[in-house]
Amino acid sequence: MLGTGPGTDTQLWHVPRPIGANCGFARAVHDAVGGFDESLLGGGDESDFFYRAHLAGFRTQAVPDAVVVYYERERLRDLARQQYRYGRQSVRIYQRFRQAGLPRLPVWRVPVTVAGGIARTLSRDPLVRRRGVKRLAVTAGRVAGSLADRTLFV
């Protein structure tokens, strides 16, 4: 399996997946795995797609020379909402792929992540503050999604 270079994310699972803002694939892959799941509103559709492609035997290849410009939400409130939705959807992705080996996040991460997020939001550096907001919002989304879906994935 290729794809462990820049442009792919393997933090959670051994399966490389690009983020949706910068991915491309052959039409044959799209057709073979049934495309993107449009019921995954608020994020996670690219993870779902690339995990299904991996399980169908397709490989992910990073293209280090590709250039993509991506702008995050400008307002912190909008960024927090987006990250919260991503956190909620990550619970659904876990439910779909846990039988295939997607690991559960360790519960001990919650207080560590929250403490780190709070510390970052108190920073004078706006970029550090943004990272703190993102951490807190995605964690809050995972907690809310875990409670709503009765599946522990924080």
Count of residues for the chain?
Answer: 154
pLDDT at 11: 54
CA distance 100 to 112: 28
pLDDT at 2: 35
CA distance 8 to 13: 12
Q: What residues pair up with 17 in beta bridges, in sequence order?
A: 9
Do residues 133 and 76 touch, judged by C-beta distance below 8 A?
yes
Do residues 91 and 149 touch, judged by C-beta distance below 8 A?
yes
For residue 5, CA distances in Å to 16, 19, 60, 65 come to 9, 13, 10, 11
* Per-residue pLDDT of the chain in tens (154 residues, 90 and over written 9): 334 445 555 555 677 666 677 778 889 999 999 999 999 888 888 889 988 998 999 888 777 787 777 788 899 999 999 999 999 999 999 999 999 988 888 889 899 999 999 999 999 999 999 999 999 999 999 999 999 999 999 8
Chain position carrying tokens 């990250």 = 83
Q: pTM score, two decimals?
A: 0.83
